[in-house]
Amino acid sequence: MADMSSCVALVLAAGKGTRMRSQKPKVLHRLLDAPMLAYVISALSPVFQDRIFAVSGHLAESLEEAFPGLKFIRQTEQLGTGHALACALPALEAAGAAKILVLNGDAPLVTTETIESFLQKAAGADLAFASITLPDPCAYGRVLRKDGQVTEIVEAKDYDPGLYGQPSGEVNAGLYLLDAAAARKLLPLLRNDNKNGEYYLTDLIGLGLAAGLKVLGIPCGDDPSLLGVNSPAELADAEDLLAARTTKALLASGALIHNPGAARISPFAQIEPGADITAPCEIYGSSTIAAGAKVGPYCVIINSRIGQDAQIRPFCHLEDAVIETACIVGPYARLRPGAKMEEGAHAGNFVELKKTTLGKGAKANHLSYLGDAEIGANANIGAGAITCNYDGQRKFRTTIGEKAFIGSNSALVAPVAIGAGALVGAGSVITEDVPPDALALARGRQANKPRKK
Ligand code: UD1
Ligand code: MG
């Protein structure tokens, strides 16, 4: 469309999602660890920027909290998709909308390309909608045509084959372009005398034709990007499709993915060409994986940054962690929020880091808990050493200087500082600061005695 400035997008997201049988708003259900609505907004954003509105209703507060930057319009009672549009229209017109792209919020597979191509084809119509053709029209609204021209959309529950004949398989995809003035004129004519007792947006098609408006049904083939999600099974199918699509695009871009069928990588993650990932894996959120980094199988990586040439060995769990260049993590390491490993650091098997920086080249290779700690460059944390950071009420910090050596099975009772170059004897319970380059021993001395027979 030539002038997009007066075209706004409206996402319908107020429905109860009864078929999900869950307590939360349907569009907050997650695929590849991001809410359904995030995908819809991300597909719309390049075209509509800040001209995106969403209708909230059922559990509106939790939805609005999850999308703080989005413009919400409340539909206090969920009386149907037509009613949702009617609730939103005054606010949209007040924002200068002459054309409204309406999209169901339960279409997480939708792409920017699909939206752009639909907008182009729909440009000249007063009312237009996208249709797809499915082998089984399931619960979708059925598109009726006469001599090629669409005549109406009949919802599945209201479809009487005796009256309408066998359905063609062409169904309404839930993507519309509406002239605001036409919508204003037609919405008051909607009635709810149907099986659901709802005001259907889809009835605008028949009403528009009766009013002599230009109405277009735009066939989009069997485009899976327009599939709706109404049940847990459809959510699982959509998630599979999304994972497959993302993996395919990454492979095409030059990322190396072994066993790709088992990769679950969010499209919001950034995987550089030359990153080497072995599935099964789950890589979610705003994670980034740099070129040359290697991720072994059975890893879960959430909102984490993996630097160049770093190795994440199998069975690691990382969340909100930063791994710099050439670090080695795992196998079997757990990096919790605030974990940071600077260049060349190692965290080996059964090592847990939380709000802890492991400095350049520092190593904690076995069986360690390091929380609320700052560990200097090239320090060595022995097997089984832990920071005792919590007294049952509050958390305290531990600092360990450069090149310090913490002997195996030591307990560092925070708050405590170990100086640079200090050595803590194995098995020590350290409750006082250790000066730089000192040897600290805090354990009972060994006594060898004759054995009683
Ligand atoms: C709808 C269409 C159907 C189409 C299908 C495509 C209608 C009447 N039917 O059916 O023709 O084939 O989508 O996926 O529109 N919503 C509100 N307020 C309400 C009711 C719903 O905001 O009062 C929102 C829902 O949150 C959802 C969207 O509108 O995101 C569609 O509602 P849903 O109940 O999923 O409609 P379908 O039965 O899938
Ligand atoms: Mg739906």
User: What's residue 71's pLDDT?
Assistant: 98
CB neighbour class for 182 (10 Å; exposed up to 12, middle 13-18, buried from 19): buried
Hey, whose CA ends up nearest to atom 31 of ligand 1? Answer: 104
Which numbered ligand comes closest to the C-alpha of 201? 1
Per-residue pLDDT at 310 exceeds 70: yes
Q: Which of 59, 81, 154, 223 to mutate to test the pocket of ligand 1 (most atoms within 8 A of CB)?
A: 81
Q: Of the candidates 18, 254, 226, 256, which has an alpha carbon nearest to the alpha carbon of residue 108? A: 226
Per-residue pLDDT at 440 exceeds 90: yes
Q: State which ligand 1 atom lies nearest to the alpha carbon of 12.
A: 22
User: What's residue 435's pLDDT?
Assistant: 98
Average pLDDT of 400-421? 98
Q: State which ligand 1 atom lies nearest to the alpha carbon of 173.
A: 6
Percent of the chain with pLDDT over 90: 97
List the single range of 15-24, 38-47, 385-394 with lowest mean pLDDT. 15-24
Ligand 1 pocket member 176 (CB < 6 A): no
Q: State which ligand 1 atom lies nearest to the alpha carbon of 79.
A: 23
User: What's residue 453's pLDDT?
Assistant: 87
User: What's residue 2's pLDDT?
Assistant: 57
Per-residue pLDDT at 3 exceeds 90: no
Per-residue pLDDT at 60 exceeds 80: yes
pLDDT-derived band at 16, boundaries 50, 70, 90? confident
d(CA 414, ligand 1 centre) in Å: 55
Q: Is 327 left (phi over 0), alpha (psi -120 to 50) or beta?
A: beta
Per-residue pLDDT at 1 exceeds 70: no
User: What's residue 66's pLDDT?
Assistant: 98
Per-residue pLDDT at 184 exceeds 90: yes
Compute the mean pLDDT over every residue in the chain, rounded to the nearest whole number. 97
User: What's residue 325's pLDDT?
Assistant: 98
Q: Give the pLDDT confidence of 83-129 residue by residue, as tens digits.
A: 999 999 999 999 999 999 999 999 999 999 999 999 999 999 999 99
- The yes-or-no answer on residue 258 being catalytic is no
d(CA 106, ligand 2 centre) in Å: 6
Hey, whose CA ends up nearest to atom 11 of ligand 1? Answer: 141
Q: Give the pLDDT confidence of 122-177 residue by residue, as tens digits.
A: 999 999 999 999 999 999 999 999 999 999 999 999 999 999 999 999 999 999 99
Cα radius of gyration rounded to whole Å, the chain: 29
Q: State which ligand 1 atom lies nearest to the alpha carbon of 77.
A: 23
Which numbered ligand comes closest to the C-alpha of 229? 2
Which numbered ligand comes closest to the C-alpha of 36? 1
d(CA 403, ligand 1 centre) in Å: 62
Ligand 1 pocket member 108 (CB < 6 A): no
Which member of 29, 83, 258, 366 is catalytic?
Answer: 366
Ligand 1 pocket member 131 (CB < 6 A): no
